[in-house]
A and B are shown apart, each in its own frame.
Chain A
């Protein structure tokens, strides 16, 4: 696999190191001279100097044969343009973009630049995960694959509490993939009993969320 990474900040540089360690062929494009020189000393020919939104710079990096383009500059407009050009001009089939400002996510969606990841959103999810003020946490959304993973707290007195997994009236297209209990997690068996206070991870088709959460919420 050949990957072109644009933007040699913390994300781009560490990603490049990891990909190299996994044996992937990578080119990293960096437009700041000082950063480029520092990374060139470490990574050598892997790093190229230039504005990764310019066509000749992308072509010099061999974008025509890239299997994956990763746009992780600190500028959302740059990331949008890079992915758009990679997809529409160079027919790169897989690309991943970073969203610096979550408010710009709407523009990535408008121009169909997906997947787009925002560190702010990811950290926000971790906060939701760590701070149990929220009954439900979205752990993973894969709209293209029509798949979501959510984490739900099993409330006292809810319909699911005290039932075995196989007795849960989960809608078709959803399944409990993990139970978190006593600081540990395990994959439940059909006869595992769900207790109030547990947290469950449920994998589901988009749209089933209200039906699923109803089982775990306290009776009103």
Chain B
């Protein structure tokens, strides 16, 4: 079991959070919008906290909010806000300021995802996945552009 901190509770962040909690991990979610909490509760039998999850309202970049959400003891840090630059910045904060052992960062822009990936960051680019899926669906040969 790991302690996982997820920053950004949108569609992706909230779903990953619920699945990880269901898989038996300790999960803390940080988001600036109190309404994002509803995504964690929607369609569930119990509330997020009732199921054992943690939720903190705060800005992703605020040190105090990150600490309150438990970054100091996190084993895994997931940056999944809707801003690439916010994600890339807080991911580096998690790595370099708080020494989180594993940091995953969502980057929508494939170019930046690739470059930061080459710098040693574990980037995940949904845009590239979508492009691949479309191309597979239409049988476009790889790299034909």
Contacts and interface: CB of A to CB of B under 8 A. Distances in A.
Interface in B32-68: 61-63
B93 A110 contact: yes
Given A85-B115, A110-B97, A104 B85 contact: no
Query: Most chain-A Cβ atoms within 10 A of its Cβ — which of B62, B84, B86, B89?
Result: B89
Q: How large is the interface on B (under 10, 10 to 19, 20 to 34, 35 or more residues)?
A: 10 to 19
Contact of B119 (A54, A88, A103): A88
A111 B92 CA distance: 8
B109 interface: yes
B97 to A, nearest CB: 6
B115 A111 contact: no
B112 interface: yes
Interface in A140-195: none
B142 interface: no
B119 A107 contact: no
Q: DSSP class of B's interface residues: helix, strand, loop or mixed?
A: helix
A76 B112 contact: no
A103 B62 contact: yes
Contact of B89 (A55, A56, A77): A77
Interface in B60-112: 61-63, 83-86, 88-89, 92-93, 96-97, 109, 111-112
A77 B112 contact: no
A83 to B, nearest CB: 11
A77 B115 contact: no
Interface in B97-133: 97, 109, 111-112, 115, 119
A46 B96 CA distance: 37
A77 B92 contact: no
B97 A53 contact: no
A55 B112 contact: yes
A56 B88 contact: no
A55 B96 contact: no
Interface in A92-133: 103-104, 106-107, 110-111
A80 interface: yes
A81 B115 contact: no
A209 interface: no
B119 A77 contact: no
B93 A81 contact: no
A218 to B, nearest CB: 38
A177 to B, nearest CB: 37
A77 B85 contact: yes
Nearest to B92: A111
21 contacts: A53-B112, A54-B111, A54-B112, A55-B109, A56-B111, A76-B89, A77-B61, A77-B83, A77-B85, A77-B86, A77-B89, A80-B89, A81-B85, A81-B112, A88-B119, A89-B115, A104-B61, A107-B89, A110-B92, A110-B93, A111-B96
Given A81-B89, A85-B115, A89-B115, 7 more contacts: A53-B84, A55-B111, A77-B61, A77-B86, A80-B85, A88-B119, A106-B63
User: 7 smallest A-B Cβ distances: which pairs?
Assistant: A77-B85, A77-B89, A55-B111, A81-B85, A77-B86, A78-B85, A80-B89
Interface of A: 53-56, 75-78, 80-81, 85, 88-89, 103-104, 106-107, 110-111
